[in-house]
Chain A
C-alpha cells in the first residue's frame, strides 16, 4: 500500500513538472553571425512545442521557452541546430521563464 501511495505521489509530481512551461538553454558553438543565425529562430518557431526563442551571440546562447506540458528532445534540438548550421555544446533545462534569461543577459548576476 505504501509503495502504491509513493508511486501515485511521484506520478503527480512528474505530471506537475511536465505541465509547467520550461526553458531549454543551449550553449552553441559557431554562433557569431546574426545574419546566419536567423535560421535557428525560424526553425524553432515552427516547432509546436515552442512558446518563445531567444538567441544571444554574445552569450553563445539559444534559449527556448516551451509551452506548458511540451518538451523538445535533445536529439531533436541537436538536429534542429545542425540544420541551422551549428553544433550544441551543452543543453540545460530549467523551470525559469525566458524573461528571467533575458534579464540575466542584460544584467549578469541579477
Chain B
C-alpha cells in the first residue's frame, strides 16, 4: 500500500509539475509568523509556531502527539524545528515549492513511561494554481524506542478562483500513511478548506468517521 501510495503521489505531482500553493506551509513570507494547530483524527495531533526571518527559512517549535489506533502506543514529542525552502517556482499562473525541515526534542514514550531524545526530518512538495492544489509531505521520526514515517498526500480543487478579498473554498482529499504500528492501512479524509486574509480553517472526516481539522494563522 505504501508503494502504491508513493507511485500515485509521484505520478500526480509529476503530471502537475509544470505549473503548482493552497498548501499549509512552514514559511509564509519574510518577517511573517505562522501558527498552526492540527487535529488528525486522534492519531496525530500537532501545534506549531514558526517565525521566518527570510522567505527561505523559518525557525520555531511545536508539540506532536501520536497515538496508535489501538491505543497501545503513544508519543508526545516537544521540539525545536528549522524549515528551509531550497527551491520554489513562480510560474505565470501557478506556484510550486519544495521544503525540507528538521527538528530535535524530547519525546515521552507512553508504553515505556520513558522520556527520550528524538529527532525528525521531513519534506514537502506542493503545487498550486488558483483552482488546483497538490502536496506531498513526508516525515520521519526517530528515537531509541521507535521509528515512524508519516506520508501525507493532499489533492484539492476550488470550484471558483478566489482573489485577495474573497473567501477561498477548497475541497481536499487527504491520504495519510503511518508506519511503526500507529495506524493499519491508509487513512483517507475528505476536507473542506476555507481561508480569507490571514486565517485558514479546514475540517472534515476520515473514512472511519473521525474528525480531521486544522487551523492556521499568518501575521
Spell out A's residues near B (CB within 8 Å): 28-40, 42-43, 55-58, 60, 82-87, 89
Q: Is B129 an interface residue (CB 8 A)?
A: yes
Given A83-B54, A84-B29, residue A35 in contact with residue B90 (CB < 8 A): no
Given A57-B163, A84-B29, residue A34 in contact with residue B196 (CB < 8 A): yes
The B192-219 residues at the A interface (CB cut-off 8 A) are: 195-198, 200, 218
Q: Is B15 an interface residue (CB 8 A)?
A: no
Number of interface residues of B (CB under 8 A): 34
- Which of B54, B89, B164, B200 meets A57, CB within 8 Å? B164
Check A29–B90 contact: CB distance below 8 A. yes
Q: Is B130 an interface residue (CB 8 A)?
A: yes
Number of A-B contacts (CB under 8 A): 94
User: Which residues on A sit within 8 Å (CB–CB) of B88?
Assistant: 30, 85
A81 CB, nearest partner CB in chain B, Å: 9
Spell out B's residues near A (CB within 8 Å): 21-22, 25, 28-32, 54-55, 88-95, 128-130, 161-166, 168, 195-198, 200, 218
Question: Which of A60, A85, A89 counts the most chain B CB atoms within 10 A?
Answer: A85
Check A39–B89 contact: CB distance below 8 A. no
> Residue on A with the closest CB to B27?
A85
Bound: A86/B165 CA distance, A: 19
Check A55–B164 contact: CB distance below 8 A. yes
User: Which residues on B sit within 8 Å (CB–CB) of A85?
Assistant: 29, 55, 88, 90, 95
Check A84–B93 contact: CB distance below 8 A. no
User: Which residues on B sit within 8 Å (CB–CB) of A58?
Assistant: 130, 161, 163
